[in-house]
Structure 1
Amino acid sequence: MRLSGGVRTVGAIALWSLLSTLAIAAPGSSNTARSKLSTPWTDEANSAPVPLADYPRPQLVRKDWLALNGRWDYMGGASLPNPANGQSSPPSFPRNPESIKVPFPPESFLSGIMRDLEINMWYRRTFEVPRQWNQGRGWNNGPGWGWGPGGHGPGSQRGRVLLHFEAVATNSVVYLNGRQVGQHRGRWESFTFDITDLLRPGDNTLVVGANDPHDGLTSEGKNDIDQGDYTFTSGIWQTVWLEPVPDSHIRELTIRPNLQESKVSVQTNVSGSRGTVKVSVLANGRTIGSGRGGNGTEVTISIPNARSWSPDDPFLYDLQVQILDFRGSVVDEVTSYFGLRSISLGEAGGKLHPLLNGRFVMQLGPLDQGYWPDGIQTSPTDTAIQNDLQNMKDLGFNLIRKHAKVEPQRWYYWADKMGLLVWQDMPSMWYPDNQLPWEWQTIIHQHYNAPSIVTWVPFNENWGAYDVARITAWTKSLDPSRLVNGNSGYNNAPGYRPAPGDPGNGDFDDRHNYPGPGDVPEPSATRAAALGEFGGVGLMIEGHMWPGVNHTAYEMQPSVQALTSRFVELQNDLDPFIQERGLGAAVYTQLSDVEHEVNGVLTYDRKVRKIDFAKARVAVKRAIEAGNRLAKRMEGYEGKEGL
């Protein structure tokens, strides 16, 4: 599959080199600031009245919804009221406030603000609930609205309206029509408020406050003011949206595929009055099985002629989940999907390896930090996400390590659909260790259903690491169906606090070596071996680099040809470690350049492939095939801790 917004070869970059440094807002946009570096999607995102308007929750889909992305009133600054204080009413806005484009963070070009360290941020917009949401639903007993004071009063509603935030950093408070709706703390998780009782006919005024001190006291990844590497991301940085639901509605699904027994179990969490839950499994649009149960119970469905999910064949089954009343009528309905796959540890060639669907598959792919020059940690468009992942598929990789960041749900949807294994990091926190457990638990819970995620990584290189063995074991207890890499690259010590080092437990012994491969670990009786980061070889492409910084890499090369040769050499160097020493996974640094770092296989603006993909793909495939040859030599084994 070839997606729009693709990269260009080095031979065609001269004009783009000039344009990328002079990029300005699209005609008709209110953003007149200059972009430091544009992507192929900058103009589209900048001119869109509603950016990132794709359905934000692909594993729990309803037909009706309304994106609130777009232009909001804005004010920001450390001297403004602190939203973390949770005052009962919002502050007043100036007569002519600034305008910000949500969901791009105020640090980004696409937001229209481009200021760092606002600390306290306030957003305001009006919206009107679509009247058609009330038509034919019986949400009230007469004409007009069925919500709040404008209808028949709280408690009489036969429908609810939910306000969803995909991510706000870090301490947020929400007001509707002058009254506080609720508060949230956390950078990476989605959260929801029921705003039904505060709605009124016509315009409703929504105010959101966000406080982001960047003080290292919460999980921030690369956003900490003391240790941060790149431009920060603050405030609203993912989609805001509305959704109408019946009083009795499906809140969430927990999907547990069982490849060994060719079945899937679905647990449904229902809000409101109880009814029967019906779950149907579909393959290529045809229902192949169904079952019924109550709220909170698991419905298990056998899958005939089961087809497993893998990077080579990322087949996804569809789900239809309904609440039925006592007459058998549908009260609520959502659609979802799942992949039938297992991830476990087991022997291959006499050594412990990670197994996919009961067979050793060498996991090889890039580190991906998910930064964009125009949106910082917010991708400019959904197509931009697809483009990144498709480039990695084109390169032959089967793995992506999502490093120091949690992405919106659509990113994982495309990884599921395209077929990429994902190692998911918990973004680092630096100081008092009082937030990671509950935020990490929420992240695992919210992304539990993604078949692409095969490994959780609670700590990286001792940054913010504490009590690592306990956290590693606890992570495994939260999700026994996946592998856990307790402290990726424990051989690195940041030095700002004592390094816990190797936890000794979990599913991987994982070291980082640059350029590498270097001292690669070997499997033990309980852990597979991983090279969690290697490579880091840089190349500067004039006109496609972040301006005003000193560009760095672990090793520099002078040309595309030289970088390609070095990339191929590093992949070839993995072969003896895979076939003789039992290496099970390797992560190359990195997918794209990021600001001062120029060690990506793509430029930061995603306009240039910095290596010859045809030659590089051969080397990547050769390394993965080394694992396949090892697997083929096996005469039989049983997986460990698999589904």
Structure 2
Amino acid sequence: MFKLLTAAALVASAVLVPTAQATPDWHVGTPPLTTPWTDEVSPTNALPEYPRPQLTRPEWRNLNGLWEWAPAALGEQPPFGRTLGEKVLVPYPIESALSGLQKHEDRMWYRRTFQVPDNWKSKRLVLHFGAVDYDAKVWVNGRQVATHRGGYDGFDVDVTTALHAKGPQELIVWAEDLTDETYQPIGKQREVGDHGIFYQGSSGIWRTVWMEPVNVASVERLQLTPDLANQTLKVTAQTSGPANLDVEVTAYDGRRPVGVVRGKAGTELRVKIPNPKTWSPDRPFLYDLKVKLFDRGKRVDQIGSYAGMRQVGLQKGADGKLRMALNGKILFNLSTLDQGFWPDGLNTAPTDAALRFDLEQHKRLGFNTVRKHIKVEPDRWYYWADKLGLMVWQDMPASKTDAMPEPWRTQFKAELHEMVEEHKSFTSITVWVPFNEGWGEWDRTETGRIADDVKAQDPSRLVNAHSGVNCCNSHGDSGRGDLLDYHAYLGPATTAPTSDRAAVDGEHGGFGLKVPDHMWFGDGSAYEMEPDSATLTRRYVENQTDVLRSAEQCGISGSVYTQITDVEGELNGFFTYDRRVPKMDFTQVRTINKQIVDNANGDGSGAPDPGPGTPGTDGIHFYPLDGSGEDAVGNNDATLQQGAVYGPGKNGEGLALNGAGQYADTGAALLDTSKNYTASAWVKLNKADGSFQTFVSQDGDRDSAFFLQYSGQDQRFAMSFPGIRALSPTKPNPGQWYHVTGVRDVVKGELRLYVDGQLVASKSACTLDSSSTGNTVIGRAKFGGNQVDFLDGTIDQVHLYDRALTDTEVQALYESGR
């Protein structure tokens, strides 16, 4: 609760006497790259826009501009009344060129003076710090008024009791940022960029500092939650001052009031909005709000705000797969990865127009979503996402990549929940992402609990517990949250939804192009470098075409392309890091993106249609291997390679192989691996150790399109794709005959394995099967461009089918060969 100082108390306060030291010089630094907005920044216009769009008041003062600055030593006393040796342009981090310092210090002092307008003297004075990275302490006129920990959330402090009655007021801020020396949440920041996926860190004040006068009773925060089903907007006004305050909330469509409610502050009120206009990327309509606060009938505060009416959820498509939905309709979330770094301002965009630019380009390119990647932006970024119509997946900034120890785990969770609390009212945010690729993750079960806690904190949005659950430092899928998120470079991922979670591709792509004179280090890399813009555009269109196929066939309902701009050593952007050069043909980009958003809606039209296949029990090719490689059904006889011979088989003779390069080649691609197929054989292993042995496969460009095999890694039979195996439950015995059948079912998106006529394993494998033009072979595989996994044993009665055999058909095939 705020308390007014009496006039006598104000007069009694000591008056600061500024020192007579010379004012330090300041000039902007020289970044490796400038942006179109670099030269617009000066001490007189450093981010002058109102910084809090969802809670506006007419009276305020911006404290951005030139501050005195000096490095700080551990234990050093604040520099009260002392001019510091350098100047810094706030709010640009000290490592940035726009700050004027362009260097790193672990600890630092900021100092300035300010005047309180005469007409504010009867009110409380609140200082607002948008963000200080990472630990901060604040003094006003020699009195410590605040401490704060956390580099991505703001803090406010009522400094009324520390003010002098008149004259200049001294403001001092101490900041400490040890970046990657600790386990603090830092996202992509490192003290020094590494020319790879991590970037130059940002320390100190990096968002707007400002002050405003408020009454003793005032609104401190609004929580706004649309309830589209009931045509209401839920509003909670959190206030300072006495209890039992009244609130009036009016919603406007332009100048026309469309709903009003009055009730108690601190309670959830519901503004009825009949037939609401919904917010969506195609039509991002926002209602204006006017909120009045009353104390015993007298109006004591009035603020402006806004909100959109929209509903986020999951919904089954006509194909039965669970997908992401907006306003009760399936809507594919087509996104880029947005790091939010700038060559001139690092963590801080040089101007508000620059902040808006990246979001405008998302719309220009046909995206409807942006994944804000392990960084939290100033409020105005979310305001522009709200206004322009972009859904936002909001990541929690990650710790370092290895597991966080205590007490950093507790701190991480506190900052996560504060991030959610501060951003719950922005319409554009539709998904919370607590973890990325396991960075900092310490326990899979705890990850699930954290996801549940975020969902409980904000049930109105989806929770992506772990983006990239298949990657890197991940502890595996916790099974929690609303989304199952795989990363795949170059990708896209082909994750299938479950009964209660939609499937998304959290990162893919990453095609790069070097643009001379527009690279941070003068060079860089990407997941796949291209020689020119035309090739880069072609590869993007091909990759996004696969995204559409993954959506139609596998059921992913969101994808995130890496990335909107180059960043330092990463050259995989639509734009160069300086935002000066577009790197692709944006007309082609927008065309394929529009196809995805328009068609990836789960209506079943793009689902695979493998056709009925060829009827019959013998299939389309049958190799009895009775002393010859004759194809008893088709016209593709197998030829023996590297001295392979015939020996005693399951029935008559079989093909005896020594595991050292021998196999049989059918001379053609016998199966269309983009459709359903089945491969079956009787096999007897000479050994069952840690070596892979493949019975039947079909060559691809680098790897076999499929492997019916013995997996040495698992010491089990398997029907496999690279990285995916449907495995038998037990280890086979050398010297024993087994009937092994592998089925590819593209409609169900799975691999099935049968041993001795019984289904023993199925594996979700919704991959984007491509037609294999390599030969079908018996007794080996191909991996990494090499012939591998030669069979050490005997194989007999190989059948190939252009359809997915049923359980009954596999059982009958087994019985026929006994």
Give the TM interval when normalised to the shorter protein: 0.7 to 0.9
* 1:56 equivalent in alignment to 2:51: yes
Q: Give distance in 2, aligned partners of 1:299 and 1:595.
A: 47
- The within-5 A match list for 1:466-505 is 466=442, 467-494=446-473, 499-505=474-480
Q: Is the 8 A contact 2:371 2:393 kept in 1?
A: yes
Return the letter of the residue paired with 1:108: S
Number of the residue aligned with 1:605: 578
Which residue of the other structure, out of 491, 502, 510, is the alignment partner of 2:485? Answer: 510
Which residue of the other structure, out of 205, 213, 225, is the alignment partner of 2:178? Answer: 213
Deviation at 1:631, TM superposition (A): 8.6
Q: Is the 8 A contact 2:437 2:469 kept in 1?
A: yes
Deviation at 1:96, TM superposition (A): 5.6
* 1:268 equivalent in alignment to 2:237: yes
* 1:421 equivalent in alignment to 2:378: no
Deviation at 1:573, TM superposition (A): 1.1
Q: Please list the CA deviations of residues 218-251 of structure 1 after superposition, one character each: whole Å capped at 9, or x if unmatched.
A: 1111124599711101110100000100111011
Number of the residue aligned with 1:40: 36
Q: Give distance in 1, aligned partners of 2:349 and 2:317.
A: 39
Q: Give distance in 2, aligned partners of 1:593 and 1:391.
A: 14
Q: Is the 8 A contact 2:28 2:99 kept in 1?
A: no
Q: Is the 8 A contact 1:81 1:91 kept in 2?
A: no
Deviation at 1:275, TM superposition (A): 2.8
- The within-5 A match list for 1:315-326 is 315-326=285-296
Range with bigger deviation, 274-283 or 99-108: 274-283
Number of the residue aligned with 1:110: 98
- The within-5 A match list for 1:201-600 is 201-214=166-179, 215-225=181-191, 229-273=198-242, 274-326=244-296, 328-349=297-318, 350-430=320-400, 431-432=404-405, 433-466=409-442, 467-494=446-473, 499-517=474-492, 519-547=493-521, 550-600=523-573
Return the letter of the residue paired with 1:477: A
Return the letter of the residue paired with 1:508: L
Q: Please list the CA deviations of residues 378-415 of structure 1 after superposition, one character each: whole Å capped at 9, or x if unmatched.
A: 00000001111001100000000000100010000000
Q: Give distance in 2, aligned partners of 1:579 and 1:524.
A: 15
Q: Is the 8 A contact 1:454 1:483 kept in 2?
A: yes
Q: Is the 8 A contact 2:511 2:526 kept in 1?
A: yes
Q: Give distance in 1, aligned partners of 2:81 and 2:109.
A: 9
Return the letter of the residue paired with 1:260: A
Q: Which structure shows the higher strand fraction?
A: 2
Which residue of the other structure, out of 78, 83, 91, is the alignment partner of 1:90? Answer: 78
Q: Is the 8 A contact 2:190 2:199 kept in 1?
A: no
Which residue of the other structure, out of 581, 593, 599, is the alignment partner of 1:626? Answer: 599
Q: Is the 8 A contact 1:216 1:224 kept in 2?
A: no
Unpaired stretches in structure 2, ≥5 consecutive residues: 1-24, 608-818
Q: Give distance in 2, aligned partners of 1:129 and 1:558.
A: 59
Q: Is the 8 A contact 1:348 1:630 kept in 2?
A: yes
Alignment CA distance shift 1:93-1:538 (3 Å):
farther
Q: Give distance in 1, aligned partners of 2:84 and 2:258.
A: 58
Alignment CA distance shift 1:96-1:425 (3 Å):
closer
SS in 2 for 1:630: coil
Identity of aligned residues (%): 45
Number of the residue aligned with 1:25: none
Return the letter of the residue paired with 1:525: S
Deviation at 1:456, TM superposition (A): 0.4
Q: Give distance in 2, aligned partners of 1:441 and 1:127.
A: 33
Q: Give distance in 1, aligned partners of 2:28 and 2:430.
A: 43
Higher-Rg structure is 2
Number of the residue aligned with 1:181: 145
Q: Is the 8 A contact 1:50 1:68 kept in 2?
A: no
Deviation at 1:584, TM superposition (A): 0.4
* 1:66 equivalent in alignment to 2:72: no
Q: Please list the CA deviations of residues 131-167 of structure 1 after superposition, one character each: whole Å capped at 9, or x if unmatched.
A: 2334xxxx2xxxxxxxxxxxxxxxxxxx211000000
Number of the residue aligned with 2:14: none
Q: Give distance in 2, aligned partners of 1:481 and 1:206.
A: 40
Deviation at 1:330, TM superposition (A): 2.0
* 1:171 equivalent in alignment to 2:161: no
Q: CA RMSD in A?
A: 1.9
Q: Is the 8 A contact 2:573 2:583 kept in 1?
A: yes
Q: Give distance in 1, aligned partners of 2:549 and 2:487.
A: 18
Return the letter of the residue paired with 1:624: V
SS in 1 for 2:569: coil
Q: Is the 8 A contact 2:552 2:606 kept in 1?
A: no
Return the letter of the residue paired with 1:105: P
Alignment CA distance shift 1:606-1:633 (3 Å):
closer
Q: Please list the CA deviations of residues 350-401 of structure 1 after superposition, one character each: whole Å capped at 9, or x if unmatched.
A: 1111111111001101000000000001000000011110011000000000
Range with bigger deviation, 404-413 or 431-440: 431-440
Deviation at 1:31, TM superposition (A): 1.3
Alignment CA distance shift 1:632-1:245 (3 Å):
farther
Unpaired stretches in structure 1, ≥5 consecutive residues: 1-28, 140-158, 635-643
Deviation at 1:296, TM superposition (A): 1.1
TM-score when scaled to structure 2? 0.68
Q: Give distance in 2, aligned partners of 1:585 and 1:384.
A: 27
Q: Is the 8 A contact 2:553 2:606 kept in 1?
A: no
Q: Give distance in 2, aligned partners of 1:401 and 1:33.
A: 31
Q: Is the 8 A contact 2:530 2:536 kept in 1?
A: yes
Moved over 6 A (4+): 631-634
Q: Give distance in 1, aligned partners of 2:275 and 2:453.
A: 36
Q: Please list the CA deviations of residues 188-242 of structure 1 after superposition, one character each: whole Å capped at 9, or x if unmatched.
A: 1010000011111110010000001122321111124599711101110100000
Number of the residue aligned with 1:122: 109
Q: Please list the CA deviations of residues 279-313 of structure 1 after superposition, one character each: whole Å capped at 9, or x if unmatched.
A: 11111121111111112122212112211100000
Deviation at 1:633, TM superposition (A): 11
Q: Is the 8 A contact 1:320 1:336 kept in 2?
A: yes
Q: Give distance in 2, aligned partners of 1:303 and 1:95.
A: 56
Q: Is the 8 A contact 1:360 1:631 kept in 2?
A: no
Number of the residue aligned with 1:153: none
Range with bigger deviation, 29-38 or 520-529: 29-38
Q: Is the 8 A contact 1:318 1:335 kept in 2?
A: yes
Number of the residue aligned with 1:7: none
Q: Give distance in 2, aligned partners of 1:96 and 1:164.
A: 23
Q: Give distance in 1, aligned partners of 2:530 and 2:508.
A: 16
Q: Please list the CA deviations of residues 403-462 of structure 1 after superposition, one character each: whole Å capped at 9, or x if unmatched.
A: 010001000000001000000000111332231111100000000001100000000001
Count the aligned residue pairs.
567
